[in-house]
């Protein structure tokens, strides 16, 4: 009888199970369903929400995947391309003569002139000094005083200045001085006092002769050099034996158009308080320096302040 009585219960259980399946009540959360899934059963989940990058346009997503500013690996073969700003700096440096790497800007230069409106040649001198890195202050020779040299790196007495106005004002200053006018050679103690013997000028000339092209005062030039674009008065002097002698007039080997004294060297009647240069322009008139003439001035300025 036990066997007969179990058959209806099996049918009833099967019917109940079918009903539960039909109504969706048999889920994984339903305790009645636990342990009743086949071993290979799986649940299909909906696709996950796309990641933020996937919602971007494909071209942007690609950029995000490999950011353009990510540093390359250390062993990557990356071309060595200099930034534009470095190239610009290099061009500026190439425009001026090479200066010592261990020195800063040369400082302030005092330019003593005959007229503050500046002759054409004085404009060239000023611009050359600026190119070399100087800050330039111009003074009329009449108003200039020795005190104007205080704190300056260099004093340049142009040939446009009047010798009667300047005289010996800058003779004793402990600052390098470049003196262009032969009429100032004697008051500055660069030469003796006899005009025509110790100093003078060659009128209506444009050239001078480099006799020591190894010295920085030669500016890298040699032989006969044209210094102006038209005739000028070229200064010459006969310095003491302690001077370095670099150039002469074209008509005499004993008339020196570029010469200099080291600091402490014996000039004519005194020791040089700082480097001194006697240079080649008695009076520039209304003309201009050639490139070679300005190159000689650059050499004098850099040597005077000890940069060469």
Place of tokens 């899934």: 37
DSSP state of 22: H
Domain contains 54: no
- What angle in degrees, to the nearest 10, is found between the helix axes of 291-304 and 120-131? 50
For position 105, what pLDDT does the model report? 87
Q: What is the reported pTM?
A: 0.69
pLDDT digits (tens, 9 = 90+) for 165-211: 999 999 999 999 999 999 999 999 999 999 999 999 999 999 999 99
Domain contains 186: yes
CA atoms of 232 and 228, how far apart (whole Å): 7
Q: For the chain, first and last CA: distance in Å? A: 130
Q: Residue 305, Cβ neighbours under 10 Å: how many? A: 20
Domain contains 17: no
pLDDT score of 2 more than 80? no
On the 0-12 / 13-18 / 19+ scale of CB atoms within 10 A, 9 is exposed
Domain contains 68: no
Domain hosting 98: range is 93-304
β-sheet bridge partners, residue 183: none
Number of domains in the chain: 1
pLDDT digits (tens, 9 = 90+) for 116-129: 999 999 999 999 99
CATH of the domain at 262: 3.40.50.880
**221 CB contacts (<8 Å, ≥6 apart)?**
210, 213, 292, 295, 296
Least confident of 69-73, 240-244, 258-262: 69-73
β-sheet bridge partners, residue 108: 135
């Amino acid at each position: 009888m036990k066997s007969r009585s179990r058959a209806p219960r099996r049918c009833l259980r099967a019917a109940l199970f079918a009903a539960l399946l039909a109504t969706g009540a048999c889920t994984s959360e339903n305790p009645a369903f636990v342990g009743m899934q086949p071993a290979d059963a799986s649940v299909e989940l909906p696709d996950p929400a796309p990641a933020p990058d996937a919602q971007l346009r494909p071209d942007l997503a690609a950029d995000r995947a490999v950011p353009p500013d990510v540093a390359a690996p250390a062993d990557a073969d990356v071309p060595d391309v200099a930034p534009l700003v470095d190239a610009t700096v290099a061009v500026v440096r190439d425009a001026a003569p090479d200066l010592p790497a261990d020195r800063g800007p040369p400082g302030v230069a005092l330019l003593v002139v005959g007229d503050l409106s500046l002759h054409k040649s004085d404009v060239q001198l000023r611009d050359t000094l600026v190119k070399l890195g100087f800050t330039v202050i111009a003074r009329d020779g009449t108003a200039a005083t020795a005190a104007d040299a205080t704190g300056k790196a260099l004093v340049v007495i142009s040939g446009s200045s009047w010798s009667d106005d300047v005289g010996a004002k800058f003779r004793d200053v402990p600052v390098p001085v470049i003196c262009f006018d032969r009429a100032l050679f004697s008051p500055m103690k660069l030469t003796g006092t006899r005009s025509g013997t110790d100093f003078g000028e060659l009128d209506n000339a444009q050239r001078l002769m480099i006799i020591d092209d190894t010295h920085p005062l030669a500016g890298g030039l040699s032989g006969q050099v044209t210094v102006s674009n038209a005739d000028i008065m070229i200064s010459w002097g006969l310095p003491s034996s302690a001077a370095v002698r670099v150039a002469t007039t074209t008509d005499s080997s004993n008339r020196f158009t570029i010469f200099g004294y080291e600091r402490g060297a014996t000039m004519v009647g005194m020791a040089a308080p700082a480097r001194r240069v006697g240079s080649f322009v008695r009076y520039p008139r209304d003309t201009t320096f050639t490139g070679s003439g300005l190159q000689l001035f650059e050499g004098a300025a850099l040597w005077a302040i000890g940069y060469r």
